Amino acid sequence: MSQFKKTPYYVLIITFIFGVIGVFLNQSVFADYEDLSREQLDKFLRVVSLVKYYYVEDVKWETAVQGAISGMLSELDPHSVYIEPRKVERNKEDFSGKYEGIGIEFDVIDGYITVISPIAGSPADQLGLRSGDRIIKIDGKSAIGISREEVPKKLKGAKGTQVNVTILREGMGEPFDLTITRDVIPIYTVTTKFMTDDSTGYVWVNRFAATTSSEVEEAIQELLKNGMTRLVMDMRGNPGGYLHEAVKLTGMFIPGHQLIVETRGRNSRVEEKFYADQWNGGGKSYDFPLVVMIDRGSASASEIVSGAIQDYDRGVVIGTNSFGKGLVQKEFPLQDGSAVRVTTARYYTPSGRLIQRDYKDKDVREYYSEVMDTSWTSEDSLKNRPQYHTKAGRIVYGGGGIRPDIIIAYNSYSRSPKMMNRIFQKRGFFEFAKSYATRHPEIPTNLGDYQKNFEIQPDVVDEFKNYCLENDIEISDEDFEKDLDYIAARIKSEIARHFWEKDGFYYTWLHHDNQFLEALNSFDEANRIAMLNQDN
């Protein structure tokens, strides 16, 4: 009785009301979710109670609940996940296609914020920041020794605000100051675009965000003006993103009211069909020869694009088997700013193929590590996968990603990855090439001539080796000899970056890429496949 006297009367009333509401809510919950038994919920709450009263230390309930949610979702499939509030905001930025700041790609090298590349058209670009510039002060305070995570906090900010930076540039005796007015900075999903020769265009799409289809359209228009009559579209390493952007992009190459992808789920409300003319309202699509590049890192939306191109015999798909992610996630916000991403449906290509590979009875680690195992994509494994047919009758396979028309493994990698990792950690190629280019301003003529005619001589490779030793980058003669071709190609590409920014780097580096070179030789097969439907 004394306890009641200590408790305010209105609190007891509120408690009673909420108790009654809780009874009805519980009845509603169990009516809606018959497979979720009271026994299971009671079990969970019992564990919470035991931890609350008996656990040896104070419990961080926020972390504990996050762990419980993550654990539950991980039991469903590999792609249903819990997202912390800070990651929700980062994801919004990554896929919105823009942020506000000064506009640089950067890294922290030996304690210095180092400009890798200014973003075209950004405030940093307009003020003349260059690859290799070091930011040593921000708003008058030293930035030397800053962590990579702290840099965006200092340089990003609302449009119209200003930040003062002090720049140290190689070849200039004294640092100089710049006042940069922040602006909206686009986050490009087209990594690079260029003409590889007089008729062949190249576009690399790194993910599918809100601006992807318009970026690709803009790139294609620019390449057409430069004489493009055929295109290589590179989606290697593209993890996916927005479904509607994948449909829009595919609609650029597939005419009319033709199915691009279908989603099917347990709930009919998530089932939907997406058609090519959702991109252009039934207008003209591009009909030039097309080669699409994919690999094990190509997932989800990039598999939708390559799958539809293959199903309609629109072009040739080249590379290695894609990841095999055909599950549709919908993101649901939670009250604390976090979110859960729950799988609601599966993707199916126009021929009826399920893109998703098997994940049943596999933990998350096994599921992801399987991508590196070639057995599930071998010829022998195809016996256990369902067959489908393209529009022209070619056999394609379901249940395991997109299998390319031309399979070619990537072999232009380093033969001594541990040594290369040590070099990359200190941006050895970037720093050496910056210094070399500064000392040899006579190198460039134009990018095409540079790629064809400029060779990295053995004495330059030796100079790079000495640079590594002088900068405490651990290398061995044996590993260095294994990678002479790779090292020379990387130096050449980084020098190109100095003179022609990122497009120069990628143009030069891709000419060392065996899959890319094979793609350039695959247009006869692309034309042959495209003609199959005309013959039927």
The H or E element that residue 225 is part of is: helix 212-225
- CA separation for the pair 398, 358 (Å, rounded): 11
Q: How many CB atoms lie within 10 A of CB 382?
A: 14
The answer to whether residues 201 and 195 touch, using CB atoms and an 8 Å cutoff, is: yes
Rg of the chain over all Cα atoms, to the nearest angstrom: 28
* Catalytic option among 234, 295, 311, 513: 311
Cβ atoms of 201 and 516 closer than 8 Å: no
Asked whether the beta carbons of 195 and 108 are under 8 A apart, the reply is no
Residue 522's closest CA among 316, 230, 235? 316
For 243, the token pair is: 């479904």
Whether residue 131 lies in the annotated active site: no
Cβ(244)–Cβ(210) below 8 Å = no
Report whether 382 contacts 394 (CB < 8 A).
Answer: no
State the burial class of residue 511 (Cβ atoms within 10 Å of its Cβ: 0-12, 13-18, 19+): middle
Active site residue 311: yes
Contact yes or no for 290/318 (Cβ under 8 A): no
- Token couple for 157: 């900010």
Does residue 336 carry a catalytic annotation? no
DSSP 8-class letter at 385: S
Integer CA distances (angstroms), 181 to 80, 132, 137, in order: 40, 21, 16
Among 506, 439, 525, 434, smallest CA distance to 205 is for: 506
Q: Decide: 346 and 263 in contact? Cβ < 8 Å.
A: yes
In terms of Cβ atoms closer than 10 Å to its own Cβ (0-12, 13-18, 19+), residue 447 is middle
Q: Contact at 8 Å (CB) between 185 and 101?
A: yes
Tell me which of 154, 193, 325, 492 is the catalytic residue.
325
277 neighbors 251 (Cβ within 8 angstroms) = yes
Strands (E), 110-175: 112-118, 134-138, 141-142, 162-168
Contact 495, 436 (CB under 8 A): yes
Q: Of 131, 213, 285, 300, which is the active-site residue?
A: 300
If phi > 0 it is left, if psi is from -120 to 50 it is alpha, else beta; for residue 105 that is beta
User: Looking at the annotation, which residues are catalytic?
Assistant: 300, 311, 325
